[in-house]
Amino acid sequence: MTGKPSMLYRLTGGRLGRAPTPPESSPGCPGGCGCAGQQGSNSQPVTSRRNFLAMVGVGTAGLAATLAGIPIIGALFSTPARSERVWHVVGSIDDFEVEDTVKVEFIDDDPVPWAGPAARNAAYLRRLGEEEFTAFSIYCTHVGCPVAWRAGASLFICPCHGGVFDREGDVVAGPPETPLLRLDTRVRDGQVEVLAAPVPVTGRRNA
Amino acid sequence: MNRLRRPVEFVKDRLGWEAMIKPIDHYAPPETTEGKSQWAYIFGFGILFSFLLQVATGIVLATNYVPSPDSAYQSIQYITDEVRFGNTIRAMHWIGASAMVILVLIHACRVFLTASYKYPREFNWISGVVLLYLTFGMALTGQLLRWDQHGVWTVVVAANFAGRVPFVGEHIAEFIMAGETVSGETLTQFYALHVFILPIAIVLLIGLHLFLVTYHGISELPRAGKPVDPETYKQEYQEYVEKHKRPYWPKGIWNELFFGGLVVIVIVSLAFLIGPRELAPPPDLTDLSAQPQPDWFIIWYYALISVKPHGYEEFFLVYLPIGFFLFLLILPLIANRGERHPSKRPFAIIGLSVVVGLFIMLTVVGLRAPWVPDYETEPLQAAELGTEEPRLLEGAMVFHERGCQYCHQIHGEGGEWGPDLTDVSSRMGSEQIAVRIVQGIGNMPAYQDILTTEEVDLLVEFLNEVDELEPD
């Protein structure tokens, strides 16, 4: 009795499915002499089947890792989208004296409700003329510590490594190599507004 | 039944005890298990024990810590004041972190000294270097979780450093801050890093590190004139340990357990004695008088980037750290054979001495931080100067008010960044002093647009006379 190969076997070219069972005894192959050859040809599909199943296993695990990984890695590296920078009102124009540099504060745009102190931001604002203002980022251009405005000395001084900037934000002493970042300002309806900017990390600053 | 009469055997058999201890049940080089030299091999266990202690205290802290920007500070106050032993747990975690950093550095120095990173232990070293940097990563992220005035600025500074990395810097910075600025998402980002991501990486690498130590065996003490030859090393090592038949387990391990235990005892004792690191004021990114203070193991680097020559910013802030990291990483790949004994590796020893020397010197300089302006300095008064001369007193006021005194000392009062000006009149004439004030030099800003002519005159007069004045 000779078993027929299964349809799966034929469709997969012998990789999968039931192989044809050899005749139990063949007249031309007495004893077992010819069976060695028969077994040889028979073990080929079995090995391929094993290989294929191994591939199925590895492939499925790989697919699972990819499928699970996409949302996990994606979410891990997601940063909140901040498509538009927002103007912040920091005070009425009359609050500021010409030639004075003062600290102004504002709340970050659209903070999560639990942001607390993390949402609060500051900038330095200097009034130059009637409607002319300059705003400076508070972050030292060395490694990002907060520079302190010392009115008496008319200098911004960084407490971390002794960086010093003049009232125009230019470096006058210490390790920093680039001036303080300037923020955009505008006056609307007698209110001074500052355009919030990201923490000026170097990559962005040079861009 | 037999197995019930011998419950120990039963448990051992079913647990596969023999197989379990097999990795450490082998012969070790005799000098690593006895005599004075065995004490060179204890630091790894000290690190392991302090890490386990960090995990335990960390779990306790995590059960009470609220990783939300508006509550984190309060929750630490709660841990400190309300939780039973909370104060001590915080202290243990803080001191344990310092202990781990110290021990990791000592361990790395020891392995470098004995050149144990050479064939076949290249990956012992490489996994160790990654663990070293992960330890620093833990220390940094932990400093931030304190979420006090120093902590929040640590984020900004860390992001700034990361931002300088070529090509991907900006992305790393945004990953660190979880956005473009410090925001509501920043703290949870660091929390996840400190509590899950970095510890998991550390545990996996400790596993690899320990496996490699047992797999390749503990490195024998180096002998001068006996270079490592990959052709013969493994066989010679095997013959050496077989000859002496000193089992590592259980007797060879006693001093390591002793040291590990000692480390924990010292940490706990210090925790009871000195308590946790004092919380700085609550975080406020609009308080621009903040003076961010890094933890002690970062101070040397703070000092380095303060005193570095002007220019070279990218070199010191980017390429030096990255280069040093890569150098440590590939060290065993570029030098995996040859002499191991320190006496045959003069350049390696000189290099190590320079690095250790710089670390200590820069830490000392960084603790003094002379470049930090002295805002607290008080104006010199008539009594201190011993004069009633109004123009001199006015000069002293200008000297203080205009910020000269932030950086310059006079009669012991003032900052330390610039030279002491008490005896400036012996070095410079009036004209020179005036020019120096107006035009500045080096790190001395030009005061041309800041001071009035009258103020310059007052300062010059004051500086000319001040050496003659006798403070009481």
Sign for the CA dihedral angle at A127, A129, A132, A134 comes to: negative
The whole-number pLDDT of residue B162 equals: 85
The whole-number pLDDT of residue A35 equals: 45
CB contact under 8 A, A155 and B446: no
Mean pLDDT of B240-259: 88
CB contact under 8 A, B372 and A159: yes
Give how many domains chain B has, as a whole number.
Answer: 2
Nearest to B332 by CA among B117, B108, B116, B129: B117
CA–CA separation, A167 vs A157, rounded Å? Answer: 11
H runs (alpha helix) in chain A: 7-11, 35-76, 202-206
Q: Name which of B180, B286, B406 is nearest A199 (Cβ-Cβ).
A: B180
Mean pLDDT of B61-76: 94
CA–CA separation, B404 vs B117, rounded Å? Answer: 53
CA–CA separation, A70 vs A73, rounded Å? Answer: 6
CB contact under 8 A, B173 and A120: no
Residues 170-189 of A with CB under 8 A from B: 172-175, 177
The residues facing B267 across adjacent strands are none
Q: How far is CA B328 from CA A33, B325, B336, B463, in A?
A: 64, 5, 13, 52
Residue B472 falls within a domain, yes or no? no
Q: Name which of A116, A162, A175 is nearest B69 (Cβ-Cβ).
A: A116
Burial zone of B440 (CB within 10 Å; 0-12 exposed, 13-18 middle, 19+ buried): middle
Q: Rounded to 10 degrees, what is the CA torsion of B242, B244, B245, B251?
A: -140
Mean pLDDT of B97-105: 95
Residue B113 banded pLDDT, cuts 50, 70, 90: very high
Residue B471 falls within a domain, yes or no? no
Residue B376 falls within a domain, yes or no? no
Q: Is the pLDDT of residue B220 over 70?
A: yes
Task: Work out the minimum CA distance from B200 to partner chain A, whole angstroms.
Answer: 16
Residues B358 and B413 in one domain: no
pLDDT digits (tens, 9 = 90+) for B171-208: 888 888 888 888 888 899 899 999 999 999 999 999 99
The residues facing A101 across adjacent strands are A126
Q: What is A87-206's CATH topology? A: Rieske Iron-sulfur Protein (2.102.10)
User: Is residue A122 less than 8 Å (CB to CB) from chain B?
Assistant: yes
Mean pLDDT of B252-270: 94
The whole-number pLDDT of residue A168 equals: 92
Mean pLDDT of B444-470: 87
Per-residue DSSP letter, A147 = P
Is residue A121 helix, strand or coil? strand
Task: Work out the minimum CA distance from B322 to partner chain A, whole angstroms.
Answer: 16
Residues B44 and B108 in one domain: yes
Output phi, psi for B410, to 5 deg. -135, 125
Q: Name which of A114, A138, A162 is nearest B69 (Cβ-Cβ).
A: A114
CA–CA separation, B35 vs A95, rounded Å? Answer: 77
Pairing of strands A133-136, A191-195: unpaired
Residue B284, domain CATH: 1.20.810.10
pLDDT digits (tens, 9 = 90+) for B277-323: 888 889 888 888 888 878 888 888 888 888 877 777 788 888 888 89
Instruction: Kindly report the number of other CB atoms within 10 A of residue B298's CB atom.
Output: 19
Contacts of B172 (CB under 8 A, 6+ apart): B162, B163, B165
Chain A's closest residue to B177, CA to CA, is A79
For chains A and B, what is the number of CB pairs under 8 angstroms? 195
Q: Is the pLDDT of residue B356 over 80?
A: yes
- List chain A residues with pLDDT less than 50: 1, 26-40, 203-207
Sign for the CA dihedral angle at A69, A70, A71, A76 comes to: positive
Q: Name which of A148, A149, A174 is nearest B371 (Cβ-Cβ).
A: A174
The whole-number pLDDT of residue A118 equals: 84
Residues B341 and B411 in one domain: no
Residues B399 and B433 in one domain: yes
Residue B470 falls within a domain, yes or no? no
**Residue A116: both structure tokens together:** 């607390």
Q: Which of A73, A105, A160 to mutate to test the interface with B (most CBs of B within 10 A)?
A: A160
Contacts of A205 (CB under 8 A, 6+ apart): A141, A178, A181
CA–CA separation, B424 vs B438, rounded Å? Answer: 16
Residues B353 and B429 in one domain: no
Residue B455 falls within a domain, yes or no? yes
Nearest to B363 by CA among B302, B306, B291: B302
The whole-number pLDDT of residue A206 equals: 44
Residue B373 falls within a domain, yes or no? no
Q: Which of A74-78, A199-203, B91-95, B371-375 has the lowest mean pLDDT?
A: A199-203
Residues B403 and B331 in one domain: no
CB contact under 8 A, A119 and B156: no
Residue B416, domain CATH: 1.10.760.10
Mean pLDDT of B223-251: 89
Q: Name which of B69, B164, B310 is nearest A202 (Cβ-Cβ).
A: B164
| Boundaries of domain holding B275 | 2-368
Q: How far is CA A61 from CA A16, A51, A58, B406, in A?
A: 20, 15, 5, 64
Instruction: Kindly report the number of other CB atoms within 10 A of residue A29's CB atom.
Output: 15
Residue B350 falls within a domain, yes or no? yes
Residues B351 and B437 in one domain: no
Q: Which of B74, B156, B307 to mutate to test the interface with A (most CBs of A within 10 A)?
A: B156
Residue B2 banded pLDDT, cuts 50, 70, 90: low
Task: Work out the minimum CA distance from A130 to partner chain B, whole angstroms.
Answer: 21
Chain centre distance of CA A46: 47
Task: Work out the minimum CA distance from A13 to partner chain B, whole angstroms.
Answer: 44
Pair B60, B89: CB distance under 8 Å = yes
Q: Is the pLDDT of residue B218 over 80?
A: yes
Residues B40 and B180 in one domain: yes
Residues B144 and B207 in one domain: yes
Last residue of a domain, one of B368, B391, B413: B368
CB contact under 8 A, A148 and B310: no
Chain B's closest residue to A108, CA to CA, is B183
Residues B358 and B412 in one domain: no
Q: Which of A68-77, B67-76, B294-303, B375-384 has the lowest mean pLDDT?
A: B375-384
Q: Name which of B159, B178, B402 is nearest A144 (Cβ-Cβ).
A: B159
Domain ranges within chain A, ordered by starting residue = 7-76, 87-206
Contacts of B163 in chain A (CB under 8 A): 201-204
Residue B352 banded pLDDT, cuts 50, 70, 90: very high
CA–CA separation, B95 vs B105, rounded Å? Answer: 15
Sign for the CA dihedral angle at A198, B142, B117, B301 comes to: positive
Residues B263 and B240 in one domain: yes
Length of chain B: 472
Nearest to B111 by CA among B358, B331, B363: B331
Residues B306 and B440 in one domain: no
Q: How far is CA B251 from CA A1, A136, B27, B38, B47, in A?
A: 70, 66, 11, 12, 20
CB contact under 8 A, B302 and A103: no
Q: What is the ipTM of this complex?
A: 0.84
The whole-number pLDDT of residue B26 equals: 83
Residue B276 falls within a domain, yes or no? yes
The larger pLDDT score, comparing residue B34 to residue B209, is at B209
User: Is residue A5 less than 8 Å (CB to CB) from chain B?
Assistant: no
